[in-house]
Structure 1
Amino acid sequence: MSEMPDVRVDVEPAYREDESSPMENRFVFSYTVTVHNHSPGNIQLMARFWKITQTSGQVQEVRGKGVVGKQPMIGPGQTFQYTSRAILDGPVGFMEGAYTCVDTASQRPFEVPITVFRLATPNQIH
């Protein structure tokens, strides 16, 4: 039985004050994702799943093919980076999820979990 590919995901969120409108409960965040392929073979990122928890407690689930319109192939030792956005109804929220990838040699799909991360405007205590 082959080993699961070693793939890691790092996320760096940022508050977009210029795009937000707190008076209208619109808080825009960007998040830059870096996918690291530490395995010996090629992988392809096929689909995404995000669970977004709003300040109000409302939970939104987002599923789709690839990321930012792409299904990138990531070679051994390579990374793929992209930036996307989330719009919250308040100053603090959380995101977590998973990517569905394929080991291109075996064509076996596998999931890469994305650990929960916090979206918060500057100076938020919670």
Structure 2
Amino acid sequence: MARRPAPPQYEAITEGVRIRVRPRFLHDESEPGRSHFMWSYSIEVENESDRVWTIARRHWRIVDSAGRVQAVDGEGVVGQTPTLSPGERFSYTSGAPLATPSGLMSGTYDLVGENGEEMVAIIPAFSLDSPYDTSRPS
């Protein structure tokens, strides 16, 4: 069996908060014949600033290859509101289903500082690609 290449990594930095994303197509959880395509994405948030930040809310924009847009908003990430001191990292993995074989995700985190200051950190846009997307050149 051929080894699959490592998934690409996407990265953005907002005022010293670095966010890295690594999406991965989940072959075993996808059913192309039923228009069900599943990805996981691993995110690492690293606080390179000199301030303490808490991830209070997340905002996602998911666009499938048919142009359908889905917005996902909620408290924290994966049921947590992690606080990151300078130099600390927080990592988690979540998932995204689509009815098409490809799409794009982008978003933001609302961060709150220890003195009540607020910042919007950019989550880099990343592509959700599968081998079932025939619209892409091979």
Question: TM above 0.5, one fold?
Answer: yes
CA deviation string 1:72-93 (max 9, x = no partner): 0111111100000000111110
Runs of 4+ in 1 over 6 A off after TM superposition: none
Q: How many Å apart are 1:5 and its aligned residue?
A: 4.5
Percent identical = 37
- Which residue number in structure 2 is paired with residue 94 of structure 1? 104
- Which residue number in structure 1 is paired with residue 6 of structure 2? none
Q: How many Å apart are 1:107 and its aligned residue?
A: 1.1
Distance 1:38 1:98 in 2: 17
- Which residue number in structure 2 is paired with residue 77 of structure 1? 87
Q: Report the TM-score when normalising by structure 1.
A: 0.91
Distance 2:27 2:132 in 1: 13
2:54 is aligned with 1:29: no
Contact 1:50 1:95 in 2 (8 A): yes
CA deviation string 1:92-120 (max 9, x = no partner): 1000000000111x211110011211001
Distance 1:83 1:43 in 2: 20
Which segments of 5 or more consecutive residues in structure 1 lack a partner in the other structure? none
- Which residue number in structure 2 is paired with residue 66 of structure 1? 76
Contact 2:101 2:132 in 1 (8 A): no
Distance 1:84 1:99 in 2: 15
Secondary structure in structure 2 of the residue aligned to 1:76: coil
- Which residue number in structure 1 is paired with residue 122 of structure 2? 113
2:66 is aligned with 1:56: yes
Q: Report the TM-score when normalising by structure 2.
A: 0.83
Which segments of 5 or more consecutive residues in structure 2 lack a partner in the other structure? 1-13
- Which residue number in structure 2 is paired with residue 41 of structure 1? 51
Q: How many Å apart are 1:41 and its aligned residue?
A: 2.2
